[in-house]
Each structure stands twice: as structure tokens, then as C-alpha cells.
Chain A
Amino acid sequence: MATLIIILVVVGVLIIALLAFVAVYNGLVRGRLRVKESWSGIDVQLKRRASLIPNLVETVKGYAAHERETFENVTAARARLQQAGTPGQAAEANNMLTQTLRSLFAVAEQYPDLKANQNFLELQRELSDTEEKIAYARQFYNTNVLSYNAKTETFPSVMLANTFGFQPAEFFEAEEEAREEVKVSFSTPPAANA
């Protein structure tokens, strides 16, 4: 009788341990999947942003052909964005693109005809929209990364994370400046510090 109870207790403990293992492991997998999914949200917008650049450069070239250096910088930043492999690289290239676009728009400022060009205005609108969407996608992505990384670093999931190679994910960092620029281009008041 006593042995039977012991066997039952051992089996019970094993079953509970197994269930806990499955729950924690699945939690990690789910977290990693969400990070991946939300990354594709950023990726879509980065691709869209990159695809708008050649058209924009061509349009501005039509009015300010001699600003070669500015165009080259923009094109180089775009190429880097397209080649970026990791979220960190993509963020860096994207911030660089933001910087170079800022000088491109500064150039455009000097050409009233260009500023009135419908095509240019449309591209500018599209770019602003994309920048805003990147900011939102970044917010969602970083939230998921935070939640996943916490799992890979806290007990008890950290044990499984180490054993099964769940690496912490990389955040997509935007420069504060870049974020600011998005706000300014929409003539909205700066966000309150939440």
C-alpha cells in the first residue's frame, strides 16, 4: 500500500514537472514567434520606405541636378537599409536614411517649383506615412522583444532558454532625433512624457 502511494506521488510529481516544462517551453516559443511576426511588420514598412527613395531622388534631381553628394548619400543609405541583416543593422541604416533625407528635404526647400510639384508632394506624404508606421511597428516589436527577453532572463524559463538556445532578441532602436522628426513633420504637438 505504502509503495503504491509513493509510486503515485512520484508519477504525479513527474506529470506536473512535465506539464510545467511544456508550458514554459511553449511560452518561449510563442514569445520568439511574436518577435519574428512583429519584426515582419517593421520590415514591410522599411521595404516600402526604401522603394519610395529612387522615385524621390529622381524627382528632386529634375530640379536640383547639381546636388550630387546629397543624392549619393541618400542612395547609399538606402542600399545599406536593403542589405541590413539584423534588426540592429536595419535600425542603424534606417536612422542614416532619415538623416540623409533630412538634407535632401533641406535642398528641396530652396526650390519653390519643386515644393509645388504634385509628384513630390505625394512622395513626401507617402514617406511621412511610412515613417509613422515604422514608429508604430517599432513600438509593437519592442514590446514583444521586451516580453520575450524577460522570459529568457528570468527564472524558471531562463533554464530552458539556456538549454534550448533561446537567444534574447535585438531591440529596434530609433534615434530620439528621428522620432522627433516624425512628430514635427506632422505638425503635432510633442508627446507628453508618459
Chain B
Amino acid sequence: MAQIDSMHGDTGEPVLVYDRISANRRQTWIMMFLFVAVAGGFATLIGYVVGLPLAAAPFLFAGLAAYAIFSYYASSDVALAVSGAHKVTKEDAPELYRIVENLCIGSGLPMPKVYVIEDSAPNAFATGRDPQHASVTATRGLLDKLDKSETEGVIAHEMSHIGNYDIRVMTITVVLVGLIALLADLFMRWTWFGAGGRASNRDRGGAAFAILVLVAIALAILAPIAAQLIQLAISRQREYLADASGALLCRNPDALARALEKISADPDPLEVANKATAHLYFSNPLREHQSFLNNLFSTHPPVEERIRLLRAM
């Protein structure tokens, strides 16, 4: 499917979307490569510290590469499963289903699978590896608290993520970055609780070992930061762009702005969201207090700014 409605230049030629699609394809590769490199290096280091021979490294890298390829195909299922989303038919959620159908007609995209999360916090996300294997998820709260035009705006935003392959990068990030965070976490624990006892049994140079531990600690600290920065880098521009092309698709930027206002003003936290999946959502599901650091690591641009841009359209 190449015909995707989006930003148009003076000639009416959809310039931007094609650039975004190739950029996203490229970024997925870079992400997978970086993941294998970083996680592989990380795993080799851990292996070395715990006494694995360096010859094990190729196997670790190969295993991680296999994991990355597996994630390419399975990460959307993983994202849906950890969010507790269940698939709905046209009979279950006719209103939502029709909105998705209409927006597919308006954008020329194939019909994605439709999911609902039983949670009162209003939010939504799209996932999948391409428009042919995509799904749109809305929370029960979104369907209950937003009116039809607002829901349409939110889903239009999600359809834009599908159309320009944002979903591919965003979804694979859930699984790859999720694993890095997990590894870093494990490593942190190991260095705090197990390092001294186990390592001292082995005959190793004291200074060299200390350096290794320092490097390991540095890595354990750096890995989650890097992971966070990846999330940051991939999602801020995406959100602005999806707002813009979503508004163009539903022809109602004001409804999208109102939806953002309602969602950001809603006090209910989305229970099923976590650090690995937060960047998938329409609006940041994690209710964190405002601070410099949170702002630095936040996956979504500030809501006020998004609303201001939509109102100016």
C-alpha cells in the first residue's frame, strides 16, 4: 500500500510520508543492529565476569540476533499481550470499529485489527510491523470519556503512525529496549549482591578486576539511559507529525486538541502501561511528577505544545 494520505507539498504530492517510511525502515535496521551490538557487548562482559570463555561471544551475538529477528515478527503480539488488550469484532464495539473503517477508507490503509484494553484511563496505541500487520488499540476509558469526533481524532493520529511505519520502530523498541532494561537490572543486582563473593574465589588481578567492575557498573547505569534516549529520539517528532497528519486525515484538528486536553486532564493512571510500552501510547500514560529529568526522558512532547500546534492549524 503506497497510497497514504498525509502532508502534501504544493503539487499535492505526498512528499513527507514516503521519506518517513524509508526513514523508519532504516531506523528499524539501525535499532536492531545497535541492539545486537550493545546487548551482545553487554552479555559478553557479563559472561566474562562470571567466568564464561570469550569464545562464547559469537553464540551470544547470534542468539541476540535471533532474538532481534524474532522481535521483528512477534513484538506487536508481545506489546498487545503485556497491555492486556483483547481483540474486538464489529459487534463488540461498533462505534470504534466504524471509526477505524472510515479512517482506513480516508487514508487508503488496509483495515487493522481492533483491540480494547479494559481500563478507565483514556488512551490508545497502534502497533504492528507494517500496515498489513497492524492493530489499533483503544482503552475502554477512551471510548467512554471522549465523544465521537474526539475518538476519531485520536484514531486518526494512530492511523498516521501505521501509515508511515512508525509502528515498526516503536513496537520493536518495546521488546528490544525492554530486554536491555531487564539485562541492566539483572547486572545491577549481580554487582551489588554477588560480585564480591563469587569473583574473589577466582584468581584474578585485583586492579584489572576492579576496572572491569567499574566498567560494568558504568554500563549498567548507561544502558537504561541509552534505552531511554532511544525512546526519546524516536518518539517526539513522531508525535508532532502524527498529530499533523492525523488532523489532516480526520479534518478536525480541534477535536484532536480537545481529546488531548481531556486525556491529559484525566486523573486515572493507565495500570497496564510501563516504561517499555509508554512510548507507544497516544498520550504519555505514566503520571509522573514534572521535573527536569522526567522532561528530559519523556517520550511524548509536552501536551500543551501539541495542543497549541493543533489549535494553530
Q: Is A41 close to B, CB under 8 A?
A: yes
Task: Pick the interface stretch among B74-82, B202-210, B245-253.
Answer: B245-253
Given contacts A129-B98, A139-B5, A147-B14, contact A192 B105 (CB under 8 A): no
Q: Does the CB pair A147–B103 fall under 8 Å? A: no
Q: Does the CB pair B251–A194 fall under 8 Å? A: yes
Q: Does the CB pair B106–A154 fall under 8 Å? A: no
Q: Does the CB pair B252–A192 fall under 8 Å? A: yes
Given contacts A136-B105, A150-B12, A194-B252, could you give 17 more A-B pairs where the C-beta distance is less than 8 Å?
A129-B98, A132-B102, A133-B102, A133-B105, A137-B105, A140-B3, A144-B3, A146-B12, A147-B13, A147-B14, A188-B148, A189-B255, A191-B251, A192-B253, A192-B254, A192-B313, A194-B313
Chain B residues engaging chain A, CB cutoff 8 angstroms: 2-3, 5, 8, 11-14, 98, 101-103, 105-108, 147-149, 247-248, 251-255, 313
Cβ of B98: which chain A residues have Cβ within 8 Å of it? 129, 132
In the bound complex, CA of A150 to CA of B106 (Å): 20
Contact of A188 among B102, B107, B149 (CB under 8 A): B149
Cβ of B313: which chain A residues have Cβ within 8 Å of it? 192, 194
Instruction: Name the distance in Å between B166's Cβ and chain A's nearest Cβ.
Output: 20
Instruction: Name the distance in Å between B290's Cβ and chain A's nearest Cβ.
Output: 30
In the bound complex, CA of A118 to CA of B253 (Å): 35
Contact of A143 among B5, B101, B147 (CB under 8 A): B5
Q: Is A37 close to B, CB under 8 A?
A: yes
Q: Does the CB pair B251–A150 fall under 8 Å? A: no
Q: Is A102 close to B, CB under 8 A?
A: no
**Nearest chain B residue, comparing its CB with the CB of A30:** B2
Interface string of A118-142 (1 = CB under 8 A from B): 0000000000010011001101100
Instruction: Name the distance in Å between B72's Cβ and chain A's nearest Cβ.
Output: 28
Q: Is A38 close to B, CB under 8 A?
A: yes
Cβ of A189: which chain B residues have Cβ within 8 Å of it? 149, 254-255
**Nearest chain B residue, comparing its CB with the CB of A191:** B252
Instruction: Name the distance in Å between A50's Cβ and chain B's nearest Cβ.
Output: 17
In the bound complex, CA of A146 to CA of B252 (Å): 21
Contact of A140 among B2, B101, B105 (CB under 8 A): B105
In the bound complex, CA of A44 to CA of B255 (Å): 28
Interface string of A19-47 (1 = CB under 8 A from B): 00000000000100010011001000100
Given contacts A133-B101, A146-B12, A150-B12, contact A140 B252 (CB under 8 A): no
Q: Does the CB pair B3–A38 fall under 8 Å? A: yes
Q: Is A63 close to B, CB under 8 A?
A: no
The 6 closest A-B pairs by CB, nearest first: A136-B106, A146-B12, A192-B254, A136-B105, A150-B11, A188-B149
Instruction: Name the distance in Å between A8's Cβ and chain B's nearest Cβ.
Output: 32
- Interface residues on chain A, number (Cβ under 8 Å): 27
In the bound complex, CA of A192 to CA of B255 (Å): 9
Instruction: Name the distance in Å between B263's Cβ and chain A's nearest Cβ.
Output: 18
Q: Does the CB pair B105–A37 fall under 8 Å? A: no
Instruction: Name the distance in Å between A31's Cβ and chain B's nearest Cβ.
Output: 9
From residue 40 to 70 of chain A, which have CB atoms closer than 8 A to chain B? 41, 45
Q: Does the CB pair A140–B107 fall under 8 Å? A: yes
Instruction: Name the distance in Å between B298's Cβ and chain A's nearest Cβ.
Output: 28
Q: Does the CB pair B149–A194 fall under 8 Å? A: no
Q: Can you show 5 pairs from A to B with CB atoms below 8 A apart?
A: A41-B105, A136-B105, A146-B12, A191-B255, A194-B313
**Nearest chain B residue, comparing its CB with the CB of A144:** B3
Q: Is A186 close to B, CB under 8 A?
A: yes
In the bound complex, CA of A192 to CA of B257 (Å): 11
In the bound complex, CA of A38 to CA of B255 (Å): 26
Given contacts A150-B11, A150-B13, A194-B247, contact A34 B105 (CB under 8 A): no
Given contacts A136-B105, A194-B247, contact A34 B147 (CB under 8 A): no
Q: Does the CB pair B108–A140 fall under 8 Å? A: yes
Q: Does the CB pair B11–A140 fall under 8 Å? A: no
Q: Does the CB pair A136–B3 fall under 8 Å? A: no
Cβ of A191: which chain B residues have Cβ within 8 Å of it? 251-252, 254-255
**Which of B106, B252, B313 is the most central at the interface, judged by chain A CB atoms within 10 Å of its CB?**
B106
